[in-house]
Amino acid sequence: MIPHKTKHGAAALARLKAYEDVPPPYDKIKRMELENKRKERDQLAYERKKQLNKLRVKA
């Protein structure tokens, strides 16, 4: 929540910019795809958890 009734809150709201799509200065920049990195990281976490569960069952 922004304290919109105070002077600094009103100034913050005045500086706030919201866009529905990519704004004009950034729409020409190449975008990075992070889905594969996230999938790799999640897969590693899953493998570690699976290994720990195997050890717990074995003990």
pLDDT band at 59, cuts 50/70/90?
Answer: confident
> What is the C-alpha separation between 43 and 50, in angstroms, rounded?
10
Question: Residue 38: inside a domain, yes or no?
Answer: yes
Q: What is the mean pLDDT of residues 18-36?
A: 85
- Residue 52 structural domain: 33-59
Q: Which helix (H) or strand (E) holds 44?
A: helix 35-58
Check residue 39 and give its pLDDT: 87
Burial 14-37 (b: 16+ CB within 10 A, else e): eeeeeeeeeeeeeeeeeeeeeeee
Question: Residue 28: inside a domain, yes or no?
Answer: no
Question: Residue 55: inside a domain, yes or no?
Answer: yes
Q: How many domains does the chain have?
A: 1
Question: Residue 22: inside a domain, yes or no?
Answer: no
Question: Residue 16: inside a domain, yes or no?
Answer: no
Query: Which residues, at least 6 apart from 50, have a Cβ–Cβ distance to it below 8 Å?
Result: none
Question: Residue 26: inside a domain, yes or no?
Answer: no
- Higher-confidence residue of 1 and 5: namely 5
Question: Residue 50: inside a domain, yes or no?
Answer: yes
pTM of the shown model: 0.40
CB 9 within 8 A of CB 3: yes
Check residue 40 and give its pLDDT: 86
